Chain A
Amino acid sequence: MSNSKILANSVDVYYGSKQALFGISMDIKEKEVTALIGPSGCGKSTFLRCINRMNDLIEICKVSGSIKVDNEEIISDKTDVVSLRSKIGMVFQKPNPFPKSIFDNVAYGPTIHGLVDSKNDLEEIVHSSLKKAGLFDEVKDRLNEPGTSLSGGQQQRLCIARAIAVNPEIILMDEPCSALDPIATAIIEELIDELRLNYTIIIVTHSMQQAARVSQKTCFFHLGELIETGETNKIFTNPDNTKTQDYITGRFG
C-alpha cells in the first residue's frame, strides 16, 4: 500500500459570500490516478486549484481548512507558492502553450528555476520531457516552430511536457481532454497511464468513462460536497451512496 501524498482536511472555499466547497476531506495516495467527477459547478475544479494555490489569482476566493502535501501545510500565508507550484504541475482544460517555440515552451520552467547549467542540459531536459509526454517523435524536427502551430492534442501533450520539465511530484489535470477529439483523448489517456508510474495524478473529468479508464481512485462531488470516495471499480460498480449511483447511471448531471 502506497503512502498518503496529499491529505485534505475539512477544506472550505468561499467566493465572496458564496460557499463553493463544504468541508472536503480527502486522502490522495502516491503514484495513483485520482479522478474527481461530478456535475458542472460542483466544486471539483475549485478543489483541484486549491492544491497548487491557483485560487490565489481570484481575489474574492477564500480558502480555509488544511491541505497537507508530504505532511506540509500549504493553506497558509507562509507557504512558498512558487516552489509549491514547481512541485505540483498543472495541465489546464484548454491547451495553453506559450506563443513561443516548442522548445522554449518546455524550456521555460527549467530555466526560471535554474535547473540547468548548460545548453546541453537544457536540451536534454526538453527532449526527455517531450519523450515522457509522448510528443518527441512528432515534433523532433520542428522544435523551433511555435507551440501554437500544433494540433489540439499535441498542444495538450506539450503542456504536459512543460509541466513535467520542472520535475514535479504531482500533476493536476483540469479536464485535460474536454477540448480534444476521441483519438487525441485516447493518446492522452494512455499517457496518463504511463505517467502514473512516476507521478501522483489528480484529474478532473466530465467523462465517467474516462474516469473509469484512467483512475484508481474516484471522488464524487456534488454541490460543493464530497459525496463519496473510493476505489474506481467500486464507485462505478457498487457505490455506497444513492446520489453517486444516480450520477454514474446518468440519472442526473
Chain B
Amino acid sequence: MNNSVAKEKIVSLRKKRSLEDMRFKYYGFTAMCLSLAVLVFLLYTIFSKGYTAFQKTIVLLEVDYNQDVLKLTPDSSDEEMEKGKFFRVKKQAIENFFPDLSKSDIKLVKKLFSINADNEIKDYFLDNPEVINTKQQIWVTAHSDVDQLLKGNSRRDVPEDRRKLNDIQLSYVDQLVEENRVKQVFNNFFFTKADSRHPEIAGVAGSFMGSLFTLFTVFILSFPIAIGASVYLEEFAPKNRITELIEVNISNLAAVPSIVFGLLGLGVLLNVFGLPRSTPLVGGSVLALMTLPTIIIACRASLKAVPPSIKEGALAVGATKTQAVFHHVVPLALPGTLTGTIIGLAQALGETAPLIMIGMIAFIPNIPTGLTEPSAALPVQIYLWVESAERGFQEKSAAAIMVILIFLFMMNAIAVFLRNRFERKW
C-alpha cells in the first residue's frame, strides 16, 4: 500500500476513534448525573418529610404539688412518692389551665396534652421532692395533634368534622401560642423511647436496639461459619464434583429471595425447635442464613487474592498446611473478609420480609435488653409506621429511614476504613 494513503487512513480512523472516546465519556457522565439526581431527590424527600420528627411541641403547665391532692407528706419515702396521685394534680392543673373552663371544655383541653404528661409531672417531682406544696411551671409534651398542627403538617382549613382538633380546641391552641405557653424543642423521646400507639412518644430506641441485637446474632453466627467454610473450600477441599456442586449452590443460595429464609425460620426455628417468637435470636439466625452465602463469596474472594507465594514461602520453611493457612493466608485475607461481612450485615440490617415472617412485626412498646426478648427492628418499624393512619407517624417513618440510612452509612464507612487501614500491598 502507498505510504501516504495508509497515513490518511490512519488519520481519518483516528478521528473516529477519538469521537468514540468522547461519546462514551459523555454517556458515562450523563448516567452518573442521572443517578446522582435521583439520589439527591430521594434524600431531599426523606429529609424534608422527616426533619420535623426531631422536634416536639411542649406546653407550659402550672402544677400545684399540693400534699393533700398527692396524698403525700414532705417526709414520705421514695417508694411512697412513686405511688403519689400525680394524675390528680395533672387534672387540677388542666382544670385551671384557662380561667373559667366549663366541664365540656376541660375534656377538650385535656386532649391537647400527651398521655405522657402524667409521667413528666411525676418525674419532675421525683427529681425535685422539695417542690411539695409549691406551684411549679412545668413544660409537658403536647398531644401529637397539637404538634402536627403547629408544625404545619395538618391543615386547619378543612371542615371541622374532618379535623382532629375542633374549632374550640383550635382557639385554645391559638391562645397558647399567643401567650407563649407553647414551644418546640428537641424531641429526645424519638431516640429514647420504643414504639407507642401515641405518635408524640413513639421512638426508635426499641427497634434500634432490636436491630443491634439482631445484627449481633448475625455476626456471631455467620462470621465464624463463613470463615470456616470459605477456608475449607479455598484451601483444603479436594477439587472434585462434590466441591464444585457445593460452590455452585452457594452462589445459588445467595440469590434465594429473603422471604424464603423467613419461611424457613417460621417453619423450622419457631415451629420445630420452638425458639421464642419475635426475638432477635430468631431474626438474627434467619438473617445469618440469608447473608452466609454473600459473606462466604466475599471471604473466598479475599482468600483467593492472597498471593500463593506467601503460602509457598511458609510451606518451604516447613509449616504444615494448617499453619501456612492460619498464620499467613487468613490474616492477610482478614480485612477483605471483614469488609465482606460488614456488607453482609448491612444487607441484613435492611431486610424486612424474613423478620415479618418470624413475627418481629409485633407491636413492642418497650426496649429489648436481650436476645430472647421480643423486639422490633428498624426496617419493620418503618413499615409499621408507614402503615399507621395517624398523621404523626408519617414524619416518624421518614425520620426512622434517616436513622437506618445513617446506620448503614456508618457500617459502610467502617468497612472502607478497615479496608484502607489493614489492606496490604504486595
Contact = CB atoms under 8 A, between A and B. Distances in A.
- Is A bound to B? yes
Interface of A: 52, 54, 57, 59, 82-83, 85-86, 89-90, 92, 94, 96-99, 108-109, 112-113, 148, 159, 162-163, 165-166
B317 A108 contact: yes
Max chain B C-beta neighbours (<10 A), residue from A97, A98, A166: A98
A54 B318 contact: no
B335 to A, nearest CB: 12
A112 B313 contact: no
A166 B316 CA distance: 10
B134 interface: no
Contact of A98 (B308, B315, B318, B328): B328
Contacts of A94: 309
A118 B348 CA distance: 48
B273 interface: no
Contact of B310 (A85, A86, A98): A98
A-B pairs, top 4 by smallest CB distance, nearest first, are A86-B318, A109-B317, A96-B309, A90-B316
A76 B187 CA distance: 75
Contacts, number: 62
Given A94-B309, A98-B328, A99-B310, A57 B315 contact: yes
A173 to B, nearest CB: 11
B163 to A, nearest CB: 69
B312 A85 contact: no
Given A59-B239, A108-B327, A99 B316 contact: no
A89 B317 contact: yes
Given A59-B239, A112-B323, A96 B318 contact: no
Contacts of A54: 312, 315-316
Interface in B303-344: 307-310, 312-320, 323, 327-328, 332
B329 to A, nearest CB: 11
B29 interface: no
Nearest to A56: B315
B330 to A, nearest CB: 13
A92 B312 contact: yes
B426 A89 contact: no
B316 A85 contact: yes
B336 to A, nearest CB: 14
10 contacts: A82-B318, A83-B318, A85-B318, A92-B312, A94-B309, A99-B424, A108-B317, A109-B318, A112-B318, A165-B317
A141 B241 CA distance: 53
Interface in B38-57: none
B4 to A, nearest CB: 42
Task: Say whether chain B's binding surface is mostly helix, strand, loop, or mixed.
Answer: helix
A85 B313 contact: no
B421 to A, nearest CB: 14
A116 to B, nearest CB: 14
Given A52-B316, A54-B316, A109-B318, A96 B310 contact: yes
B332 A92 contact: no
A97 B332 contact: no
Contacts of B426: 99, 148
B194 to A, nearest CB: 47
A97 B312 contact: no
A89 B327 contact: no
Given A96-B312, A159-B313, 19 more contacts: A54-B312, A54-B316, A57-B312, A57-B315, A59-B239, A82-B319, A85-B316, A86-B318, A89-B316, A92-B309, A92-B316, A96-B310, A98-B314, A99-B332, A109-B317, A109-B318, A112-B319, A163-B316, A166-B317
A114 to B, nearest CB: 11
A162 B313 contact: yes
Contacts of A112: 317-319, 323, 327
A57 B318 CA distance: 14
Contacts of B424: 99, 148
Contacts of A108: 314, 317, 319, 327
Contacts of B310: 96, 98-99
A94 B426 CA distance: 11
Contacts of A52: 316
Contacts of A85: 315-318
Interface string B195-219: 0000000000000000000000000
B309 A163 contact: no
A86 to B, nearest CB: 3
Contacts of B316: 52, 54, 85, 89-90, 92, 163
A108 B424 CA distance: 19
A112 B314 CA distance: 10
A82 B320 contact: yes
A13 to B, nearest CB: 18
A128 to B, nearest CB: 16
Nearest to B308: A57
Given A96-B312, A98-B310, A108-B327, A163 B239 contact: no
A109 B315 CA distance: 10
Contacts of A109: 317-318
A54 B318 CA distance: 11
A79 to B, nearest CB: 13
Contact of B313 (A57, A59, A83, A98): A98
Max chain B C-beta neighbours (<10 A), residue from A54, A108, A159, A163: A108
Nearest to B324: A112
Contacts of A86: 317-318
Contacts of B323: 112
Contacts of A92: 309, 312-313, 316
A179 to B, nearest CB: 12
B424 to A, nearest CB: 5
Nearest to B317: A109
A64 B333 CA distance: 35
Contact of B318 (A59, A159, A166): A166
Contacts of B308: 57
